[in-house]
Structure 1
């Protein structure tokens, strides 16, 4: 059984524009289901700890028509998170950064999270992220001072999918930042799109790619239990 650390945004509010965002429900719960089905354990962390703020839109009928993720959220499954600063990164075989616009605000530039990401990567763990979840990966640098994603095949939420009413409120364009350091691909025409940039870095494009990312991560972790990478 592998241990996976899922990172959630603690949330962001812009009162002037009546804008509240955080982590996206499907991007936690869909991969979580795949990972647990494969026998792996998932623990949660966020910048502030405690109950992290979910993006309310992700629980709406428009994005969760069957109410599956709303039910899981209301069950309390994601109510308790460890503050990132208190995480012992070496305990985990993988990290999974959950998307939602909140990741652009509190996860992207958090130095404690960057340190956790680096430790997981340096100890041959898997670093994964979906949708806006790659935001902190973009700004994570290795101990040699190079971008973690330098030159890699990567994906994340594209500019042409950003809602017009939200785009101007965001601190940066994820697609633009990813293009500066890696081989960005948005997988045109594919319903699900994930990319292995290396055997230890996995990114997914959007909420609809969450299940595929969880399944790929679960399969890789199961494989590594039998054939571990050398430390």
Structure 2
């Protein structure tokens, strides 16, 4: 049985971007291990459970009754109750100001190498779910970057959806500091689809310790923190390409080992293509 490590934000994931790959992997008989940054149960964005919600850039609902119900069912089940804790698994890189920096870095790399050699081998692929929460605790999560590098070293498939693709842009060998997707063909949330207002975050977090956060658990940040398309264009370099496929209903690319998916409507295709990569050895798709 193949095993998939599936990463979710604790600040709000988009329901369909979980359901798409999850259903494909379930149908293929794969074993799923869920992973969150601190081991807390992830929260779906409420708009991804609301069919009446109109996506401003697209001017239409991007949440069907079917997907809203499936998201609610998964959230209310016990499947996501006890995800693997990234922070307790992957070490934190030492600060250069440490008085024992060189020894600390030696210990750091020894632990990482041990995890890659002895633990990552049990997984067949890594998948990163999108949604606005990914901007907060996944995109610049150094521990997640090291996990991505580990799967890359083992030549295992790495799938990312929507804002989850930012993790691939920022993942890089700390010594070389060049993006892991340099020279690759990727897709992701294009600037055409960026909100001018309403980029929301939800979860158990609250800066006052009440676990309520702003607005009883909902935070409206306005526009996204960053234009993902521009980041991806810069990350792939002159020999790579960002392909948004704006105007097409879906956009999923495979430039092995990476599988990238544009946004919500591409989620089912992303799951289907991930299975094809694992079962049929697909190495190129969509470009």
TM score, norm. by length of structure 1? 0.86
Question: Alpha-carbon deviation of 1:127?
Answer: 0.8
CA distance in 1, matches of 2:70, 2:22: 13
Task: Indicate the residue corresponding to 2:274 in structure 1.
Answer: 217
SS in 1 for 2:164: coil
Structure 2 residue 230 is the aligned partner of structure 1 residue 176: yes
Task: Indicate the residue corresponding to 2:83 in structure 1.
Answer: 81
Structure 2 residue 176 is the aligned partner of structure 1 residue 186: no
* Structure 2 unaligned residues grouped into runs of 5+: 53-62, 91-118, 200-221, 282-287
Kindly report which structure 2 residues correspond to 1:92-131, keeping only aligned pairs within 5 A, or say none.
Answer: 92-131=123-162
CA distance in 2, matches of 1:89, 1:133: 20
Task: Indicate the residue corresponding to 1:71 in structure 2.
Answer: 73
Question: Alpha-carbon deviation of 1:106?
Answer: 0.8
Contact 1:114–1:140 (CA under 8 A) maintained in structure 2: yes
CA distance in 1, matches of 2:15, 2:81: 12
Task: Indicate the residue corresponding to 2:4 in structure 1.
Answer: 4
Task: Indicate the residue corresponding to 2:41 in structure 1.
Answer: 51
SS in 2 for 1:124: coil
CA distance in 2, matches of 1:158, 1:72: 28
TM score, norm. by length of structure 2? 0.70
CA distance in 2, matches of 1:169, 1:105: 14
Of 193, 199, 223 in structure 2, the residue corresponding to residue 161 of structure 1 is 193
Structure 2 residue 31 is the aligned partner of structure 1 residue 29: no
Question: Alpha-carbon deviation of 1:138?
Answer: 1.0
CA distance in 1, matches of 2:224, 2:153: 31
Question: Alpha-carbon deviation of 1:104?
Answer: 0.8
User: Between Structure 1 and Structure 2, whose CA radius of gyration is higher?
Assistant: 2
Contact 1:129–1:204 (CA under 8 A) maintained in structure 2: yes
Contact 2:161–2:262 (CA under 8 A) maintained in structure 1: yes
Question: Alpha-carbon deviation of 1:144?
Answer: 4.1
Q: Deviations over 1:148-177 (max 9, x none)?
A: 111211011111112221364432111110
Q: Deviations over 1:184-228 (max 9, x none)?
A: 11113321210112x21110001110111111111211235xxxx
Contact 1:9–1:52 (CA under 8 A) maintained in structure 2: yes
Of 172, 180, 203 in structure 2, the residue corresponding to residue 148 of structure 1 is 180
Number of corresponding residues: 213
Task: Indicate the residue corresponding to 1:18 in structure 2.
Answer: none
Task: Indicate the residue corresponding to 2:164 in structure 1.
Answer: 133
SS in 2 for 1:157: coil
CA distance in 1, matches of 2:187, 2:7: 18
* Structure 1 unaligned residues grouped into runs of 5+: 12-21, 225-231
Q: Deviations over 1:43-68 (max 9, x none)?
A: 10010112112211111123242322
SS in 2 for 1:133: helix
